[in-house]
Amino acid sequence: MRYVVTCEDKATGAVADTYKTFVGVKAANTTGYRLRLRSLFVGPTVDSPVDRNVGVKVARTNNAADGTGTAQTPEPKSNQLRASVMTAKVDYSAEPTTYDTPPLWAAGMNLRGAILKEWAPEDAPCVGPNETLGVLIAPRSANAERLTVAVEYEEY
């Protein structure tokens, strides 16, 4: 079953190469489910695009110190689906303590464009019980950049 979490029109910090978590999807230890990332969209807001760069990465952390953010209910991709057993946060005010290195996936982008990355099930970044999948973004210069992020994941 597939679900979507969206973080719209949020700002990075203004410190070059300092990552901020935009979306975190948490697989609680009690659910018995795993999470497989199926697609990721990252793009500038509706404001005029600027010719600056950002780094984007997908990383995993444990749930012991998964940061502080605004809770968001994952939306099912179909009206026929049950509610997600995962929980999600957006708009983080306190970052998770640590993320695993290296990241599960990373790329750079110019804010005159966007990223739409899709994964086949066998290649998708995954997290297991008691882990959180985070989407992090960092400006490459000392400018806060406004972006929209959408994460589509599958529970299995």
Kindly tell me if the per-residue pLDDT of 81 is higher than 90: no
Residue 104 pLDDT level (bands cut at 50, 70, 90): very high
| Residues in CB range of 23: below 8 A, 6 or more apart | 5, 6, 7, 88, 89, 90, 134, 135, 149, 151
Our count of domains for the chain comes to 1
- At which residue do the structure tokens 């290195």 appear? 101
Count of CB atoms situated within 10 Å of the CB of 97? 11
Of 23, 93, 33, the C-alpha closest to 61 is 23
pLDDT at 48: 61
pLDDT at 80: 76
| Residues in CB range of 102: below 8 A, 6 or more apart | none
Amino acid at 156: Y
Domain span at 47: 2-155
Kindly tell me if the per-residue pLDDT of 20 is higher than 90: yes
Q: What is the pTM of this model?
A: 0.94
Calculate mean pLDDT across residues 88-102.
94
Q: How far apart are CA 117 and CA 99, in angstroms?
A: 21
User: What DSSP state is assigned to residue 111?
Assistant: T
The predicted-structure confidence for 107-156, as pLDDT tens digits, reads as follows 999 999 999 999 999 999 999 999 999 999 999 999 999 999 999 999 98
pLDDT at 76: 94
